[in-house]
């Protein structure tokens, strides 16, 4: 039975992993800052109402029950907006990773199945794994000679 041996390197592909980690970190930071801004707006609204004396006859329990929903809405808006934007952005980003891998797999499989003389892997300009595709193209060209 083969034993599992974990990788020794934390970073395997610096270009891809660094980009993904940086984009996720920026996304989380922006989402956090959006929530802080929403909380700041909520507190400003509460301070404005407190200045008019709106809370003078209100107990803490009444205050919480009345403004709990408002606070949740203030917090929910940046989270939902962040999730929608994050889904769209990370979907586009992962296509740059998964698309080339799918293209490489499809091209190699097509060459093996159909016994084609020359096949070349073509990737989009901004896709990852350009160097891998070039290396595989060299191997495929040598195989057809």
Per-residue pLDDT reduced to its tens digit, 37-53: 988 988 888 888 888 88
In a domain, 5, yes or no: no
pLDDT level of residue 145 (50, 70, 90 thresholds): low
Mean pLDDT of 7-34: 84
In a domain, 8, yes or no: no
pLDDT level of residue 27 (50, 70, 90 thresholds): very high
Computed from CA positions of residues 71, 74, 76, 79, in that sequence, does the dihedral angle turn out positive or negative? negative
- Give the number of domains in the chain: 1
In a domain, 118, yes or no: yes
Q: How far apart are CA 21 and CA 24, in angstroms?
A: 5
In a domain, 4, yes or no: no
pLDDT tens-digit map of 90-129: 988 888 888 888 988 888 888 878 777 777 888 888 888 8
Looking at residue 139, its pLDDT comes to 85
Residue 78 has pLDDT above 80, yes or no: yes
pLDDT level of residue 7 (50, 70, 90 thresholds): low
Q: Are 89 and 52 in contact (CB under 8 A)?
A: no
In a domain, 1, yes or no: no
In a domain, 120, yes or no: yes
Q: How far apart are CA 122 and CA 44, in angstroms?
A: 55
Query: Alpha carbon of 1 to those of 4, 6, 8: distances in Å?
Result: 10, 16, 21
Percent with pLDDT over 90 in the chain: 13
Residue 29 has pLDDT above 90, yes or no: yes
Looking at residue 1, its pLDDT comes to 59
Look up the domain containing 64 and give its range: 14-144
Please report, in angstroms and rounded to a whole number, the separation of the first and last CA atoms in the chain. 40
In a domain, 3, yes or no: no
In the chain, what are the helix, strand and coil shares in percent, each to the nearest 5?
75, 0, 25
In a domain, 66, yes or no: yes
| Structural tokens at position 101 | 């891998």
Spatial CA neighbour of 75 closest among 36, 27, 24: 36
- The C-alpha R_g of the chain, in whole angstroms, comes to 27
């Amino acid at each position: 039975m083969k034993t599992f041996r974990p990788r020794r390197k934390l970073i395997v592909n610096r270009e891809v992993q660094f980009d993904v980690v940086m984009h996720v970190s920026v996304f989380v930071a922006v989402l956090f800052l959006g929530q802080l801004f929403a909380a700041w707006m909520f507190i400003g609204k509460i301070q404005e109402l407190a200045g008019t004396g709106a809370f003078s006859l209100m107990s803490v329990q009444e205050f919480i029950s009345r403004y709990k929903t408002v606070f949740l809405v203030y917090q929910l808006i940046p989270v939902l907006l962040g999730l929608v934007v994050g889904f769209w952005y990370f979907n586009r980003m992962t296509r740059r990773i998964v698309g080339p891998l799918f293209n490489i797999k499809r091209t190699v499989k097509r060459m093996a199945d159909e016994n084609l003389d020359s096949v070349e892997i073509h990737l989009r300009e901004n896709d990852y794994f350009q160097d891998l595709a070039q290396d595989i193209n060299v191997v495929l060209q040598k195989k057809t000679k």
